Chains A and B, each alone.
Chain A
Amino acid sequence: MATHVEADHHGPPLANQSSRVDSRVLGMFLFIASEVMLFGAFFTAYFFVRVVNGIEWPTEGLHLPVFVAGVNTCILVTSSFTVHWALQSIKRDNRAGMKAGLVLTLALGFVFLLTQAREYSRVGFAPSDGAFGTIFYGLTGLHGAHVFVGLMLLTFATIRAFRGHYSAAHHHGVEIPGIYWHFVDVMWIVVYTTIYIL
């Protein structure tokens, strides 16, 4: 049997799979590490502008919509609960719960993005309006792009869920976008606290 498999195998030799490091866990670890570095670069710029150069935050005459962004934060945090609910549901073979959780997460994510777009249109300054504007749009825009990617992943998961995919034993397609979504949510907590509150 082994000989048969070897005879059918083309291309490079099969990689040795260590039972200690799961390739999916390692992949997620490396991905998150690269994302942390990306956000870290933007936060470094924020640190230099605000702490090292000591510019006024926000620049005089400009106002950040702390309350609206706070409501948006609640929306995004709630979406983490709904995606968690979706996964817990499919782990118990509750397909209705999974579908409801995914649809709610998608809806909340879209509301978050729409609110952010509306905030951009009314905030009263542009990225070109000094270092403050650049940092604000850079960090929130980078995060918004991640939300958009997360929504794409969740859309695929939702479509597959409605087409009958996933089960209690096989739910990787929901779990991986869920992990990504929580990461995006964690990053928003950091962005909201540093940009809007502190």
Chain B
Amino acid sequence: MINPFRSEAEAFRFLIRTIAYFAVIAAAALIDKWLGVAVFVLATGVVVWWLFFRGDPKRPIRTAPARRGGEGERRILVVANETVGGSTLRDRIRERSEGVRAQVLVVSPALNTPIRHWASDEDGARAVAETRLEESLGRLRSGGIDARGEVGDSEPLQAIEDALRTFGADEIIISTHPEGRSQWLERGIVSQARERFAVPITHVVVDLDADREEIR
């Protein structure tokens, strides 16, 4: 839901809409009580629909990060929750690192419940993400890939955006579970990331259970 009081300008617009809403209801009620009730129901229905059900008409503005690496350097951003470490992902990173000086940053979003997030109770989620990150970096290093890592926002798209601001990647690799088991895929994280960031994005599916991986 949109907070109508997040800036003065929005609060001012909200006031104008409130005046219009009540003016219509009051005018109808002065003509006839039941007409007032009908207009109230109708106007409230429109407001509820507008607040909760209308699609967001604003498509995200596609942004490209500022280039930070030097000549002959490729910066690869890897975003994964718990799926870093499969051989396909390692091969993919290695393949993209060949012949260039590669900088690899692994971002592990601090996955959290919405209530804990809103209450800023993120310590537990960050600690778990930190452990996961250390494990992921260890696996990559054992595969001969020198990577560094950081814990990101619990929202993967925000974590990518944050990392792009400081790291400025040339390429993003998003690692997820297979369809049906991946919450990120269900929420369309990969397609949204492609819409939002003007950077080549590779989606690597890692099936840890079946030890089967595939690149899309």
The interface of chain A, by Cβ under 8 A from chain B, is 15-16, 18-21, 25-26, 28-29, 32, 77, 80, 83-84, 87, 174-175, 178-179, 182-183, 185-186, 189-190, 193, 197-198
Complex Cα distance, B122 from A21, in Å, reads: 13
Chain A-chain B contacts (Cβ-Cβ < 8 Å), number:
82
Q: Kindly state the interface size class of chain B when it binds its partner.
A: 20 to 34
| B189 / chain A contacts, CB cutoff of 8 Å | none
The interface of chain B, by Cβ under 8 A from chain A, is 3, 5-9, 11-12, 14-15, 18-19, 22, 25-26, 29-30, 36, 117-118, 120, 122-123, 126, 153-155, 158, 161-162
Pairwise interchain contact B25-A193, C-beta atoms closer than 8 A? yes
Pairwise interchain contact A16-B15, C-beta atoms closer than 8 A? no
| B5 / chain A contacts, CB cutoff of 8 Å | 28-29, 32, 179, 182-183
**Contacts A20-B158, A77-B19: A182 and B12 contacting too (C-beta < 8 A)?**
yes
CB-contact partner of A19 in B18, B25, B158, under 8 A: B158
Complex Cα distance, B23 from A77, in Å, reads: 13
The 6 closest A-B pairs by CB, nearest first: A182-B11, A178-B8, A193-B22, A197-B26, A175-B8, A84-B12
Which partner residue on chain B sits nearest A19 by CB separation?
B162
Pairwise interchain contact B29-A198, C-beta atoms closer than 8 A? yes
Pairwise interchain contact B12-A175, C-beta atoms closer than 8 A? no
Pairwise interchain contact A20-B14, C-beta atoms closer than 8 A? no
Pairwise interchain contact A80-B15, C-beta atoms closer than 8 A? yes
Complex Cα distance, B36 from A197, in Å, reads: 11
Complex Cα distance, B5 from A24, in Å, reads: 11
